[in-house]
Structure 1
Amino acid sequence: MSEVTNPIQACNDIFFKPNGVFKAVNEHNNWSWVPFLIVIVLSVLPGYLFINFVDFSWYQNMLIDTQYGDLSPSQQEQMRAGMQHSAIQMFMLIGGILGPIVVNAVVALYLHLMTKSDEQNLNGFTDWYGFTWWASMPAVINALLAIALIALSENHQVLPTIISPLSVAYWADVQMSSEWFGFAQSLRLESLWTIYLIAVGIAQWTSFSTKKATIIACAPFAVIWAIWLVVNLI
């Protein structure tokens, strides 16, 4: 296992040599500010570029048709009036910042509680919160692909799934009007990569076996997807 000596190296090695990164991060928890800033910036940027690239009138009409198609024409017009470019831009900005912060806090609390039974584990909630930003780094790959797709697109009438090019919704071309859209949007390749990184990190930070670490890493994602699947089927 090669030694990781700085957070910039760690941001690169997390994709190829995660064991060494988690070992180093366990000794240098102040490094986690670097992936935090990277993930937050790249969580916001694709949405910002999308809303400034898309044919906004077309996007407005698509949202009205797919989400409020059962409303009366006057009610639809009221919804359209409320969907101003600046408002949606601000929503994407706030969501891109607060979304990862809140989700990672929940994941950190879960990991903290699930690893408390390991007497050798001295890491608290804040340590696990820093840990989650390293495990979130696969989102960077998704963001870079999204930015590239938006930059190369010549058609301004593009679906918002372009922001999540590693999702099933994007590859299967699931329409926003489909009841399966949200579920398909949540099934992402980077989520599986994140699960893998969480499992590797737990095994590195605790005395748990690889099997137990993998179960802990998979459990919350599996439960959420299973409940979502059942709800859609019902």
Structure 2
Amino acid sequence: MHSVTNPFQACNDIFFKPNGVFKAVGENNNWSWMPFILVMAITLVSQYLYVNFVDIEWFAEMNIATQGDMSPAEEEQMKAFFTRDALLWSSMIGAFFVPIIVNAVYAVYVNLMTRSDDSHVYGFTDWYGFAWWLSMPYVLTGLVGVGLLLVAGDHQVAPSILSPTSLGFIAGIPMDSPWYAFGQALRLELFWGIYLATVGISQWTSFPLKKAALIASAPYIVIYGIWLVALTLF
């Protein structure tokens, strides 16, 4: 098996030879700080750049349009919230805490699903570190998104520009569409992360590949399936 000797090498090899990376991560403590720092850095930087680039009045109008029928007074009240400073603070706080919480929930899930493994040796903190390695594809596409933002000539640009591999960006789904959030969430990194999770779970457990793939994909199938049904019916 491919040998990984340090966390810097692991951050590179996770894209090409993930099996060796997960083997090394399972044997070494504190390596998962590297993907945490990289993921959080690109997430926070991209949000900061977007909020300071976008036409804030246009952004406010697009968000108000998604709320449906509103009285003029309600619209004015909502517009008052959409100052650049308020949007910056809310975006940065969300960008920082949401990945931390989501990865914690994912770690609880995988920890519970792997308890039946005869060779079970990994606990919640191990799986929490594991989750950050699954997020590494977001670093690559995040850099592409920042590049697209920096060369954009129009300031009336949707946040989906930061998710260049998302269905929302590729299909050009407008912000006032009920499908916008779903399209933005459905992106290449999602499937890449499922693949990495499958590799990692099969490396850290004695489960066959099919069971590892089922554990890796099950929460996304359920969540996106319910979301799709809700959009279709309602």
Superposed pair shares fold, TM > 0.5: yes
Q: Which residue of 2 aligns with 1:63?
A: 63
Taking only the aligned residue pairs, the percentage that are identical comes to 53
Q: Retained in 2: the 8 A contact 1:202–1:213?
A: yes
1:195 and 2:194 aligned = yes
Write the mapping of 1:204-219 to structure 2, written as runs, cut at 5 A: 204-219=203-218
Q: Which residue of 2 aligns with 1:46?
A: 46
Cα RMSD (Å) of the superposition?
Answer: 1.0
**Partner letter of residue 9 of structure 2?**
Q
Change (3 A) 1:225 1:47: same
Any idea what the Cα deviations from partners look like across 1:110-159, whole Å, max 9, x if unmatched?
00000000020200000000000111101111210110001111111111
1:98 and 2:97 aligned = yes
Distance (Å, rounded) in 2 between the aligned partners of 1:207 and 1:2:
19
Q: Which residue of 1 aligns with 2:134?
A: 135
Any idea what the Cα deviations from partners look like across 1:26-73, whole Å, max 9, x if unmatched?
001311111111111111111111110112222222222x22341111
Q: Which residue of 2 aligns with 1:152?
A: 151
- Displacement of 1:211 after TM fit? 0.6
Please give the secondary structure, in 2, of the residue aligned with 1:61.
helix
1:167 and 2:166 aligned = yes
Q: Which residue of 2 aligns with 1:21?
A: 21
Distance (Å, rounded) in 1 between the aligned partners of 2:205 and 2:63:
46
Please give the secondary structure, in 2, of the residue aligned with 1:40.
helix
Residue range with higher mean Cα deviation, 108-117 or 135-144: 135-144
Q: Retained in 2: the 8 A contact 1:166–1:188?
A: yes
Q: Which residue of 2 aligns with 1:8?
A: 8
Give the TM-score normalised by the residue count of structure 2: 0.97
Distance (Å, rounded) in 1 between the aligned partners of 2:158 and 2:43:
17
Distance (Å, rounded) in 2 between the aligned partners of 1:177 and 1:97:
25
Distance (Å, rounded) in 2 between the aligned partners of 1:46 and 1:114:
34
Aligned residues: 233
Q: Is there any run of 5+ residues in structure 2 with no aligned partner, and where?
A: none
Q: Retained in 1: the 8 A contact 2:56–2:83?
A: no
Write the mapping of 1:102-113 to structure 2, written as runs, cut at 5 A: 102-113=101-112
**Partner letter of residue 23 of structure 1?**
K
**Partner letter of residue 158 of structure 2?**
L
**Partner letter of residue 59 of structure 1?**
F
**Partner letter of residue 26 of structure 1?**
G
Distance (Å, rounded) in 1 between the aligned partners of 2:194 and 2:82:
36
Distance (Å, rounded) in 2 between the aligned partners of 1:56 and 1:75:
18
Moved over 6 A (4+): none
Distance (Å, rounded) in 2 between the aligned partners of 1:107 and 1:149:
30
Distance (Å, rounded) in 1 between the aligned partners of 2:68 and 2:23:
52
Give the TM-score normalised by the residue count of structure 1: 0.97
